[in-house]
Copies of this chain bind each other. A is one copy, B any other.
Amino acid sequence: MTTGAQRLEAARHRLESLGVRLTPQRRVVLEVLAAQPERHFSAQELYERARRRAPALGLATVYRALLLFERAGVVSRLNVGQEEDRFEFELERGHHHHHLVCLGCGRILEFKEDLLEDLEARIQAETGFQIVDHRVHFTGYCPRCRARGVAPPSP
């Protein structure tokens, strides 16, 4: 099992190899993310958390860091529904999981598995589109909301 420290080290490596300097501010942002993988932070949340350790930090810096990290493949961005973007630490490429977005309470659950490699290969072969990454999310109702009767009857 990978520890937080190992993940961080891997991320640092990747950033360095791409010539992205890990400034104090960026490091704090990265560490907050790496401390809790499997969590989906909004830029705002991240900002607040990071500010506990770097009170002078600016929100714009957080956005800039996230963009950088995203491009480096160290962080991935989640666009779901009407909400703000969420960010999460990306352990390693090709090791995806899917997101289950609850229409009742907005929670994001995860499902660890990625069965899209075959499909990716087919798409590349058939269309010539060179795939870099993919995003999948399922919308629906989580067990909790179903239990509370929030979910509509299945059609």
Residues of A within 8 A of B (CB): 77, 79-81, 93, 98, 100, 102-103, 109, 111, 113, 115-116, 118-120, 123, 126-143, 146, 151, 154-155
Among A77, A100, A126, the one with the most B-chain Cβ atoms within 10 Å of its Cβ is A100
Q: Are B141 and A129 within 8 A (Cβ)?
A: yes
Which of B123, B146, B155 touches A128 (beta carbons < 8 Å)? B146
Which of B109, B127, B128 touches A129 (beta carbons < 8 Å)? B109
Task: Name A104's closest neighbour in chain B (CB-CB).
Answer: B130
Q: Are B151 and A130 within 8 A (Cβ)?
A: yes
Q: How far is the CA of A93 from the CA of B129 in the complex (A)?
A: 26
Q: Are A138 and B120 within 8 A (Cβ)?
A: yes
Q: Are A139 and B143 within 8 A (Cβ)?
A: no
Q: Are B115 and A143 within 8 A (Cβ)?
A: no
Question: Smallest Cβ distance from A42 to chain B, in angstroms?
Answer: 14
Q: With A79-B79, A79-B80 in contact, is A111–B132 under 8 Å at CB?
A: no
Among A93, A128, A155, the one with the most B-chain Cβ atoms within 10 Å of its Cβ is A128
